[in-house]
Structure 1
Amino acid sequence: MTRAGQVKVQTDSSVANSNVTEPNVKESTGYLVGRLWRDWMRAYTGRIAGAVVLMVIVAATSAAYPWLIEQAIDMLTNADPRILTVMPAAIIAITVTRGLASYGQSVLNQSMSLRVIANLQKAMFARLMHADLAMMQSAPTGTLISRFTNDVNLMRDALSRTFTTMVRELLTAVFLIAMMFYQDWVLALIVFVTFPIAGRPIIRLGRRLRRASANVQTGLGDLTATLNQSFGGIRLIKAYGMEGYENKRSEGLFDEVYRLIMKTVKGRARTQPIMEILGGVAVALVLAYGGYRVTSGTGTLGEFVGFLSAVIMVLQPLRSLGNFNASLQEGLAAVKRSFDLIDSEPEITERPDARPLTNATGRVQLDGVTFGYGDGTAALDNVTIDVPAGQTVALVGPSGAGKSTVLNLIPRFYDTDAGAVRIDGDDVREVTLASLRDHIALVSQDVTLFNESIAANIGFGDPTADRAAIEAAAVDAAAHDFITQLPDGYDTIVGERGAKLSGGERQRIAIARAMLKNAPILLFDEATSALDAEAERQVQGALARLAKDRTTIVIAHRLATVVGADLIYVIDDGRVVETGVHDQLLALNGLYARLARLQFRTDDGGNRTEKADAGANG
């Protein structure tokens, strides 16, 4: 059985059944370049065409220089007065034309490249936003961020550089070679018989470089993930005196990234001596044969110098073309990783005939639900729970019993392996995800706040809410007083993950956000565990008001917070082991009673008081 969170990659049955496997096809240069053009670049054909036209002008004007040099030397030799008027004007005209054309093609090329990259980033981000929760939780954050930073930089470089090299440098080389054949076709043949020798080793080096570049990106992703963990956990690191350990761990990753990058550096550098040696051979042949023709009187000094200038000038675009394959393969390695992400398919999908969930009263049922997170161990085993609309139900049990898993299944963060989750009798797999989650508000112990204002974080529950509604939700969540005491009030920026607020303050912001959403089903996963006694009293009152006529499912550290629940389900080892209200469960003298004895004690006056939290969480 396929587990939630595994990533499926789209396949083509016709290709998969052929002799060439699908992964090999999707790794080929032809496939990657073709798809990049078809899906991402073709929309900018106008910009590309304009850039190509301007590149033709750049190439043609570059090729004109050797001819101008030839003419200038012959004019000097023959004391031609045009050397003082016509030649300077021609050089200025060609230089200005080349400069303007070069500027235009660069702007058009960069605008196309940057737009393609931005669209790829949007597609990757959209895919991640719709990815399964299991996939997002299993992938290190730094690895995902690396897709948008390291990989994107390689793609940007490949798109801008390789496009320029492939078109402008190739055209420049073609024009210069044409000029050389026009000047002296015999000498041109002698020169260019040497350059095809470089083709095979450059192609082989490019293939190796793509593999090496892919390894570099993986290493950078691992490094980014480690840095993200270290910086995010700096308080814990200092508290445990683990700075030295973290240094050693990061040093190993830095050294590994250095080693991987050096492999690509060496691979790219190998093309340099190949082109340099062949260039030197070409110049030597020109000096030998061209010099012989001048000294023998069969050629002019202007022809010789002009041809030699063309040879020297053509070496630069040929060197660029030699490095072109290396840059292309590095970029394609990043392109493939991006395409793999874009092609990933979530397991949690809507059926073609899914219908919106509308006007749900809020009855929640788990009917014989079995579920495992992917390691083969069942987190829930044949669990049946029925929460009538408008009632408050508590889930209680030891850590790891499966309570939070129940809450994860209701909004379809995961799908059951067996059984069904129903809202008002509708299987959650048969309704649209957006309408299902629109009916649910969630508050968990691990509060997520964005590095924005408090008002924006509360407003996340309802983007259409005005400031008055946001403040009203904060009042109900017992958050208004502490917010107004902050220097910027509701405009206070909370820091990354709410680092500028205390745990209790973050919790109350999250509760205010859920209140603002005003959904008929409320899920509270240990929602008051971080509050002090007074704040908890205020929030419990607010939750009681919010829960009225709404379906509420609560998990709590402290049994005192669920004593008044309409029904309590006691879960242990993925199974419902007891059901009833508080007094009934105490009378059973089972697991609930044992947990209660851990948390409550009776003082000498017969009054029941609460001990420190014990055992009912998780």
Structure 2
Amino acid sequence: MSKMGTPAMGRMKFDENLEKPDLSPAMLRRIAAYFIPYRKRTLAVLAVLVVTSLLGLLPPLLIQQIVDRALPGKDMRLLSWLVLASLGATIASGTLGVLQSYLNTYISQHIVYDMKNKMYRHLQSLPLSFFSNVKQGEVITRMTSDIAGIQGVFSGTLVSFASNVLILGSTAVTLFIMNWKLALLSLCVLPLFAAPTRRMGRVRWKFAKQTQEKLAQQNRIVEETLGISGYLLMKLFARESREYESFREANAETTRLQIREATAGRWFMMLVGTFGSIGPMLIYLYGGYLFIQGELTVGAIIAFVALLGRLYGPVGQLTNLYVDIKRSVALFQRIFEYFDIVPDIADGPDTLPRYADNGSANLPEAADGGIEFRGVGFAYRPDKAALRGISFAAQPGTITALVGPSGAGKTTITQLIPRLYDVGEGQVLIGGADVRSLTLESLRSNIGLVTQDTYLFNGSIRENLLYADESADEQRLIAACRAAYIHDFIEGLPDGYDTLVGNRGIKLSGGEKQRIAIARVLLKNPPVVILDEATSALDTRSEHYVQQAMQSLLRGKTGIVIAHRLSTVRGADQILVVDNGTIAERGRHEELLALGGLYKELHDKQFAAREGT
């Protein structure tokens, strides 16, 4: 495949140099939309919050009655009722708090569940170019720690905001009813709480954004160096110390940022606490004056100070919530950046699945897997074409071989067939229909691909084979493995088909993995088969078995074979020589040798190399 760059990942608004959070109404609406499926439970939470905010007013008001009526009147009966009423209000409020906590947890956990599912499904829809360009570990970070990081917003922050607003509103109204002069005096302190909040929000947002970026870097290092391929490379090049140092530096920077974020609000909280103590002092001072003037009772002053905590407490928490929400914006922005990527390759409004008589997805004219390229051009980046004017037809039941120097565009051609990339110009047709007129699922379900770098999941051989068709029975499974010349090997293993293959199939040799991959495609039984350098990295014995398996796989199919070793394509029905993004020559083996062009040059070099060995 030509490595001339990568196409755009998709249409995405993303600014790495963003300087400040944007808590816009559009983002707030977007966040609120996640509550819609749980609106009944959300309304229940709001109802509980209204009741608990009103119940919270009762104990201070009851204290006023105790001080002003029950104690001066030495009325034990009234005192008992007032104490019991206050206790009952407290118990009822606590019970409702338990219910609220359950509803909060239920809603937040399910919102995170929905968000993770949506993110995974969205990532599945993104083109190959996105995953070719994105840093390893970045996707995992956004799928896990970023989404987990905003769970607190749904479970606590938004509910706390609603709770504090209700408490603040009900308390303010009550205070004005009790004494409007003291109420106004109490409100004078409130601006002191909000003064440093905006600055603190920006600081914590900045630290949060930098922390998540460093966490992504850590995840990338872990995934690259502790994945089996990266691990082997690290060991073979003795780079353990270098990689450890890279991880240590990223970990140290993450720790530093987390400490700064955690401690950034300490002075802020100290100021809030100081401001919160000013209000009661003013109430005692001015309230005492009003008591001396006969305008206020002692019980009213005590109740007023008690209610003052319900006034300043929510204000202080709301300022904290503002800071926390600003911090969370960094996480929401990172998540929404991915959601806002528009897949460049997707089903259009007019694409339709095609079905065979048995109801399974298939190509137009189910048995016809013919492929045709008509004037196809493609570029990974606008300033340099990877393919130009590619035209050829591969008839059903024939084998078309693609040969040529590395980077000529052979793999790019094959990736246009299942729409891993889309053509820039021209058409790719399969079964007589433009591939863009078919749904991606129906198109790809009819194409089998075996690459040089075979991927096996870290499971059993059986699980890897059944990935092609979960409904396949044991008889079909064995038949596919016999055709791929791998059944006898599997039967010779202690656990047979239940043998674990290890990470990326590390417990198997290259030839064994290739034959299992071929058996997997045989089990799928698609009308179109693409083999991309399936034998280039194998020894002679393994190559022999894989070639036998390839013959079984290609029998009766439309085959597209990329081959480095020209000996594997001698019998191809047509050979296309690809050079610098164009088809330089075409014909059968003998015809191309007689032509004396690039194919003969490649053939002679390989022949000379073999003679030399």
Question: Is the 8 Å Cα contact of residues 136 and 220 (structure 2) preserved in structure 1?
Answer: yes
Give the TM-score, by structure 2 length. Answer: 0.87
The counterpart of 2:346, out of the listed 343, 346, 349, is 349
The counterpart of 1:368, out of the listed 353, 371, 375, is 375
- The whole-number CA distance in structure 1 between the counterparts of 2:118 and 2:579 is 42
Query: By how many angstroms is 1:288 displaced?
Result: 2.5
Give the TM-score, by structure 1 length. Answer: 0.87
- The whole-number CA distance in structure 2 between the counterparts of 1:411 and 1:43 is 36
530-539 vs 453-462, which deviates more? 530-539
Query: By how many angstroms is 1:375 displaced?
Result: 6.3
- The whole-number CA distance in structure 1 between the counterparts of 2:126 and 2:485 is 34
Pairs within 5 Å for 1:395-434: 395-434=402-441
SS of the counterpart of 1:157?
Answer: helix
Is structure 2 residue 522 aligned with structure 1 residue 515? yes
- The whole-number CA distance in structure 1 between the counterparts of 2:254 and 2:450 is 40
Question: Is the 8 Å Cα contact of residues 439 and 520 (structure 1) preserved in structure 2?
Answer: yes
- The whole-number CA distance in structure 2 between the counterparts of 1:367 and 1:430 is 15
Question: Is the 8 Å Cα contact of residues 360 and 423 (structure 1) preserved in structure 2?
Answer: no
- The whole-number CA distance in structure 2 between the counterparts of 1:505 and 1:426 is 36
Who is 2:211 aligned against? 216
SS of the counterpart of 1:141?
Answer: coil
Who is 1:565 aligned against? 572
Question: Is the 8 Å Cα contact of residues 396 and 569 (structure 1) preserved in structure 2?
Answer: yes
Pairs within 5 Å for 1:108-147: 108-147=103-142
Query: By how many angstroms is 1:405 displaced?
Result: 0.9
Query: By how many angstroms is 1:486 displaced?
Result: 4.0
In structure 2, relative to structure 1, the CA distance for the partners of 1:107 and 1:246 (3 Å cut) is same
Question: Is the 8 Å Cα contact of residues 360 and 439 (structure 1) preserved in structure 2?
Answer: no
Query: By how many angstroms is 1:121 displaced?
Result: 1.9
Who is 1:160 aligned against? 155
Is structure 2 residue 518 aligned with structure 1 residue 524? no
Is structure 2 residue 329 aligned with structure 1 residue 326? no
304-313 vs 361-370, which deviates more? 304-313
Question: CA offsets per residue over residues 530-557 of structure 1, 9 Å max, x none?
Answer: 5444443233222212212211111234
553-562 vs 399-408, which deviates more? 553-562
- The whole-number CA distance in structure 1 between the counterparts of 2:300 and 2:495 is 77
In structure 2, relative to structure 1, the CA distance for the partners of 1:71 and 1:476 (3 Å cut) is farther
Query: By how many angstroms is 1:446 displaced?
Result: 2.0
In structure 2, relative to structure 1, the CA distance for the partners of 1:452 and 1:76 (3 Å cut) is farther
Question: Is the 8 Å Cα contact of residues 369 and 419 (structure 1) preserved in structure 2?
Answer: yes
- The whole-number CA distance in structure 2 between the counterparts of 1:67 and 1:541 is 90
Gaps of 5+ in 2: 355-362
Who is 2:544 aligned against? 537
Query: By how many angstroms is 1:417 displaced?
Result: 2.1
Pairs within 5 Å for 1:54-133: 54-74=48-68, 75-76=70-71, 78-82=73-77, 85-133=80-128
Query: By how many angstroms is 1:135 displaced?
Result: 1.2
Who is 2:357 aligned against? none
SS of the counterpart of 2:375?
Answer: strand
Question: Is the 8 Å Cα contact of residues 398 and 557 (structure 2) preserved in structure 1?
Answer: yes
Question: CA offsets per residue over residues 397-454 of structure 1, 9 Å max, x none?
Answer: 2221211111111111112223322223333223332222222111111222233332
Is structure 2 residue 28 aligned with structure 1 residue 33? yes
Who is 2:180 aligned against? 185
140-149 vs 284-293, which deviates more? 284-293
Who is 1:52 aligned against? 46
Is structure 2 residue 8 aligned with structure 1 residue 8? no
- The whole-number CA distance in structure 1 between the counterparts of 2:515 and 2:458 is 16
336-345 vs 149-158, which deviates more? 336-345
Question: Is the 8 Å Cα contact of residues 6 and 133 (structure 2) preserved in structure 1?
Answer: no
What letter corresponds to residue 285 of structure 1 in structure 2?
A: L
Query: By how many angstroms is 1:525 displaced?
Result: 0.7
In structure 2, relative to structure 1, the CA distance for the partners of 1:141 and 1:172 (3 Å cut) is same
What letter corresponds to residue 233 of structure 2 in structure 1?
A: L
Question: Is the 8 Å Cα contact of residues 76 and 83 (structure 1) preserved in structure 2?
Answer: no
The counterpart of 1:306, out of the listed 300, 303, 308, is 303
Who is 1:605 aligned against? none
Is structure 2 residue 496 aligned with structure 1 residue 489? yes
- The whole-number CA distance in structure 1 between the counterparts of 2:80 and 2:488 is 84
- The whole-number CA distance in structure 1 between the counterparts of 2:340 and 2:478 is 42
Question: Is the 8 Å Cα contact of residues 455 and 467 (structure 1) preserved in structure 2?
Answer: no
In structure 2, relative to structure 1, the CA distance for the partners of 1:271 and 1:504 (3 Å cut) is farther
What letter corresponds to residue 54 of structure 1 in structure 2?
A: V
Query: By how many angstroms is 1:271 displaced?
Result: 4.0
Question: Is the 8 Å Cα contact of residues 66 and 79 (structure 2) preserved in structure 1?
Answer: no
Query: By how many angstroms is 1:326 displaced?
Result: 1.6
Pairs within 5 Å for 1:147-296: 147-199=142-194, 201-207=196-202, 209-232=204-227, 233-258=230-255, 260-261=257-258, 264-265=261-262, 268-269=265-266, 271-292=268-289
Question: Is the 8 Å Cα contact of residues 275 and 322 (structure 1) preserved in structure 2?
Answer: no
In structure 2, relative to structure 1, the CA distance for the partners of 1:60 and 1:376 (3 Å cut) is same
Who is 2:389 aligned against? 382
SS of the counterpart of 2:191?
Answer: helix
550-559 vs 400-409, which deviates more? 550-559
Question: Is the 8 Å Cα contact of residues 47 and 112 (structure 1) preserved in structure 2?
Answer: yes
Q: How large is the Cα RMSD of the aligned pairs? A: 3.1
Who is 1:473 aligned against? 480
- The whole-number CA distance in structure 2 between the counterparts of 1:375 and 1:219 is 32
Is structure 2 residue 466 aligned with structure 1 residue 463? no
Question: CA offsets per residue over residues 481-521 of structure 1, 9 Å max, x none?
Answer: 33334444333444443344443333222211111111111
What letter corresponds to residue 193 of structure 2 in structure 1?
A: A
- The whole-number CA distance in structure 2 between the counterparts of 1:8 and 1:545 is 43
Query: By how many angstroms is 1:148 displaced?
Result: 1.4
Question: CA offsets per residue over residues 49-95 of structure 1, 9 Å max, x none?
Answer: 10111112222222222223334445445543137732443243223
Who is 1:19 aligned against? none
SS of the counterpart of 1:441?
Answer: strand
Query: By how many angstroms is 1:268 displaced?
Result: 4.2
In structure 2, relative to structure 1, the CA distance for the partners of 1:539 and 1:268 (3 Å cut) is same
Query: By how many angstroms is 1:165 displaced?
Result: 1.3
- The whole-number CA distance in structure 2 between the counterparts of 1:115 and 1:264 is 28
Who is 1:16 aligned against? none
- The whole-number CA distance in structure 1 between the counterparts of 2:536 and 2:325 is 54
Who is 2:333 aligned against? 336
Question: CA offsets per residue over residues 227-269 of structure 1, 9 Å max, x none?
Answer: 2212221221122111221123223323443454456445544
Who is 1:616 aligned against? none
What letter corresponds to residue 105 of structure 2 in structure 1?
A: Q
- The whole-number CA distance in structure 2 between the counterparts of 1:145 and 1:274 is 39
In structure 2, relative to structure 1, the CA distance for the partners of 1:464 and 1:309 (3 Å cut) is same
SS of the counterpart of 1:569?
Answer: strand
Question: Is the 8 Å Cα contact of residues 528 and 536 (structure 1) preserved in structure 2?
Answer: yes
SS of the counterpart of 1:420?
Answer: strand
SS of the counterpart of 2:391?
Answer: strand
182-191 vs 231-240, which deviates more? 182-191
SS of the counterpart of 1:524?
Answer: strand
